[in-house]
Amino acid sequence: MEKIVIASNNPGKLREFGGLLAPFEFIAIPQSELGVSDAEEPYATFIENALTKARHASFSTGLPALADDSGICVRALSGAPGVHSARYAGLEKSDLRNNQKLVAELHGQTDRRAFYYSALVVVLHPEDPHPLIADGAWHGEIIDEPRGAGGFGYDPHFWLPEQRCTAAELTPELKNRISHRGIAMQQLTQKIRQFLR
């Protein structure tokens, strides 16, 4: 079985990737188990940051690497928090403080449209000239009061009109199927299959 390093130390993402990758015949290893530090994320786009993280993890381990860069983009805030979603309220990551800041920034706004976005990148080695890239978007709205105990990040405030609940109220199985990361993973899976033909 092929080994692939997951270029993330985020427990929520690692849980989701575990579920998403379970059907495939390779062993997914979190970068923390291999002593890999977090990569710098200096870019303004999700794809550039994901590529940087994948190359860093592959360079550090000598293994193929899968990286994700994702966040939430709010229409009324010109796409913020965007690539800064994890540290929106400061350098120390805190879902609670990030959500509090987002709700405060939207006070008085009637346009609550938002979308989660995920960019996934796979590199076979650090200098891979043809990385596999996939992305996905998941549209919803921001609500003031949190609902649900599942998920992570902005999920308790991310209202899904079609589901009539927040992302934090979904089962993990349904979330993995319809989320931005789930959509991107389905796209990436097709690209991997085509690549391996």
Question: Which amino acids are annotated catalytic?
Answer: 69
Nearest to 102 by CA among 145, 162, 150, 46: 145
Cα-Cα-Cα-Cα torsion 195, 193, 139, 105, nearest 10 degrees, comes to -50
